[in-house]
């Protein structure tokens, strides 16, 4: 693991330890009240979900056209993180919606596209696990579709009618809410980098095990 990993992990742990205080002292929103504070974890995890789908897609493209197994390992790591951050997004969202909209779920463009993106990441992992020989390239194709879905998720609220908050809510946030959001975004981005590095390291070690088995058998 790189030298920066442990200091960065400590910094990330400190940020997560401070986050309940930062969020608890945030002002409540006029219409949503206390439930607005879900936004501080929901939105950064949604961004990491989309970022991870892009990382997975780009790494898969590079693996398909370059054949470098290093890119394949990055794609696997990113796919797993897409599932993790997607799950957080898709669970915290309905908890917000229950109070805000009076329903757990609506089949609008953003929420449905997010669910599809999450299922594509799951299908990537399932194909990798049970697909047999050649499943790495088959899964790479899925990852490209997962990445292609990301712009639709992002712009959907501005293009199609929905009751989901628009993308304008972030730049228009008042300062007491805005700095808290960027604190959480920094925290989640650092966590994403650390988890990605850790997961890639796991794949590298697995590749080493495979190489050792081959060396022993020959």
Partner 1 sequence: MTLFRRLVLVLLLASVSPAAALVRAQQTTEPQGQFVPAESLPQRERMPAAPLLIGAYAFALVALFGYVISVSRRLGAVKTDIARLESDMKRSGRG
Note the residues at the interface with partner 1 (CB under 8 A): 16, 20, 27-39, 41-42, 45, 84, 87-88, 91-92, 95-96, 98-99, 101, 157, 161-166, 168-169, 172-174, 176-177, 191, 195, 198-199, 201-202, 205-206, 208-209, 212-213, 215-216
Q: Is residue 54 within 8 Å of residue 148, measured between CB atoms? A: no
Q: Which residue has the tokens 């081959």?
A: 214
Closer residue to partner 1, CB minimum distance, 41 or 145: 41
Closer residue to partner 1, CB minimum distance, 144 or 194: 194
Distance CA 46, CA 183 (A): 15
Closer residue to partner 1, CB minimum distance, 21 or 134: 21
Q: How far is the CB of 91 from partner 1 (least distance, A)?
A: 5
10 conformational bin, left if phi > 0, alpha if psi -120 to 50, beta if neither: alpha
CA dihedral 158, 22, 88, 187 (to 10 degrees): 90
Q: How far is the CB of 28 from partner 1 (least distance, A)?
A: 4
Closer residue to partner 1, CB minimum distance, 36 or 47: 36
Neighbours of 133 (CB within 10 A): 6
């Amino acid at each position: 693991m790189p030298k920066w990993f442990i200091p960065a992990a400590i910094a990330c742990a400190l940020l997560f330890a401070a986050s309940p205080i930062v969020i608890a002292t945030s002002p409540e929103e006029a219409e949503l009240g206390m439930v607005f504070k879900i936004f501080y974890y929901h939105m950064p995890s949604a961004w990491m979900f989309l970022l991870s789908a892009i990382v997975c897609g780009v790494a898969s493209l590079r693996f398909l056209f370059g054949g470098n197994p290093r890119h394949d390992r990055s794609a696997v790591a990113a796919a797993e993180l897409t599932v993790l951050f997607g799950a957080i997004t898709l669970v915290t969202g309905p908890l917000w919606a229950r109070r805000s909209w009076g329903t757990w779920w609506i089949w609008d463009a953003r929420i449905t596209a997010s669910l599809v993106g999450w299922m594509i990441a799951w299908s990537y992992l399932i194909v990798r696990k049970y697909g047999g020989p050649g499943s790495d390239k088959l899964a790479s194709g899925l990852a490209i579709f997962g990445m292609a879905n990301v712009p639709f998720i992002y712009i959907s609220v501005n293009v199609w009618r929905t009751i989901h908050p628009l993308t304008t809510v972030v730049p228009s946030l008042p300062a007491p809410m805005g700095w808290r959001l960027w604190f959480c975004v920094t925290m989640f981005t650092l966590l994403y980098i650390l988890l990605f590095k850790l997961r890639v390291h796991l794949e590298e070690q697995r590749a080493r095990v495979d190489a050792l088995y081959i060396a022993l058998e020959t």
